[in-house]
Amino acid sequence: MSEQSSIVTQTGKLIVGVTGNIATGKSAIMRLAQERGALIIDADKIVHHLMDTDPNMQAAIAVAFGADVRLPNGRINRKTLGKLVFDDPAALHDLEQMVHPSVRIAIAQQMQETDKNVIFIEAIKLIEGPIAAMCHQIWVTRCQKQRQLERLIICRGMTPEMATHRIEAQSPQEEKVAQADVVIDTDGYMHDTETLFNLHWNRLPAPADAPPIELHVPLDSGLEQFVQASPAKAADTKPAAPPERKESPMGLSRPIPKSLKRRLGKTIAKSAPAEETAVPTADTTPKPPPAKAKPAPKTTASSGDTAEIRRARPSDIPSVMLLIHKATNG
């Protein structure tokens, strides 16, 4: 299954990849490039940084190779891990599959952020891995096996047996040389190496003329520190609360019915108008129009009485009974 990635186009910068077998002079080439103003990126140092600081990487390695490869502070014990993968090609391949995507993200990030227009990338597995596709040129360092042994024994303190084992564990130098754009022999003195470096440095094309390079940055590595842009904050989809209903001064959310207002009053004047205007409330919520009251039946009274035309109420029962009593003479 192919990993999802984001493509970033790099223009206006010249990228040189540097590789070679152990103790063949890669570090010397990187130092010379830095002295001439290039940005240098060491893939091995990026791997070490990830193993020291990234908890996702640390957890994945511990699951794959056992809890013994993890120190009490969470960091990966590279010495212990190296013993497990050095003589096991399958285990080494698994480890590389874990770290390569994150290393690519780190390299792409540094390439995008720098204002330098010449970049040198050092990686022991540069040609075998995906980093070669990020480079315009591949430079390979080479020297005789005897020079390798001397450097490992004198500079790194290895025993002859250990140095020999490390050299023979790697693929032959000629496999890298066959894929190189530039080969620098480092058998001689340092000034000889510098002379060769200057020769090829001066032959580099202008960065502005370098073809654009597409950087395939994986999206699922889980390394937040190398993400180029934080995702935009998601819009708040929480539904808005309904508007608060305001109550009338009496604590009700609708006008008080007229009949209830009359019942609440202490007295009811006989000359009260048939219709009253509702007291406006603070509630602005639209309400259905009130139902029209049916007209009360008209009552004909004697010539000496004044009739009041309105809807009958329970309190009118005594008066109505009295009128009936008078009209029927008891």
For residues 35 and 76, is the Cβ–Cβ distance under 8 A?
no
Q: What pLDDT shows up at residue 2? A: 42
- Domain ranges for the chain, please list them: 5-226
Q: What pLDDT shows up at residue 313? A: 59
The Cα-based distances of 213 to 51, 79, 112 in angstroms read 28, 36, 12
Domain 5-226: CATH superfamily, name plus number: P-loop containing nucleotide triphosphate hydrolases (3.40.50.300)
Q: What pLDDT shows up at residue 220? A: 55
- Which residues pair with residue 279 across a beta bridge? none
Q: What pLDDT shows up at residue 1? A: 36
Instruction: Give dist(CA 132, CA 150) in Å, integer.
Output: 29
CB atoms within 10 A of CB 127: 20
Instruction: Give dist(CA 159, CA 156) in Å, integer.
Output: 9
Query: How high is the mean pLDDT in each 10-residue block of the chain (330 residues)?
Result: 65 97 98 98 96 95 96 95 91 93 91 95 92 96 98 96 94 95 97 98 97 75 37 34 41 46 47 45 51 49 48 60 64
Q: What pLDDT shows up at residue 86? A: 86
3-state secondary structure 189-207: CHHHHHHHHHHHHCCCCCH
Report phi then psi at 21, rounded to 5: -70, 175
pTM score:
0.65
For residues 166 and 158, is the Cβ–Cβ distance under 8 A?
yes
Q: Which residues contact 109 (CB under 8 A, 6 or more apart)?
A: 226, 228
- Using only C-alpha atoms, the chain has a radius of gyration, in whole angstroms, of 46
